[in-house]
């Protein structure tokens, strides 16, 4: 799990991930609650978990999707944080 720097007890399991038209994925932010993550994804032009077709001009580049995923899902899909687009 990701922790807030300086506070080892705070866990930020909800991730906002940008996926571009080529399938490349980039972590945009980490949040304590799904609601916070969804709010950012919506502001950036996505429509939340599993969003597709986020090229509606609301700040997203054509073909970019902003997704909300739980950190455990990302770690299992990419074999840990070190294997995820960073």
- State how far the Cα of 19 lies from the Cα of 65, in Å rounded to an integer: 5
Tens digits of residue pLDDT in 27-57: 999 999 999 999 999 999 745 455 433 334 4
* 76 inside domain: yes
Q: Quote the domain boundaries for residue 74.
A: 3-81
* 25 inside domain: yes
* 69 inside domain: yes
Q: How many domains does the chain have?
A: 1
Cα Rg for the chain, rounded, in angstroms? 13
pLDDT recorded at residue 72:
84
pTM above threshold 0.85: no
- The b-or-e profile of 35-68 (16+ CB within 10 A means b, else e) is ebbbebbbebbbbbeebeebeeeeebeeebbbbb
Tens digits of residue pLDDT in 52-79: 333 344 456 777 899 999 988 766 766 6
């Amino acid at each position: 799990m990701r922790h807030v720097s300086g506070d080892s007890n705070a866990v930020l399991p909800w991730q906002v991930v940008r996926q571009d038209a080529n399938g490349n994925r980039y972590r945009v932010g980490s949040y304590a609650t799904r609601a916070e993550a969804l709010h950012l994804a919506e502001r950036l032009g996505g429509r939340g978990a599993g969003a597709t077709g986020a090229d509606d001009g609301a700040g997203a580049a054509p073909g970019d999707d902003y997704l909300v995923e739980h950190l455990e899902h990302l770690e299992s899909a990419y074999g840990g944080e070190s294997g995820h687009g960073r």
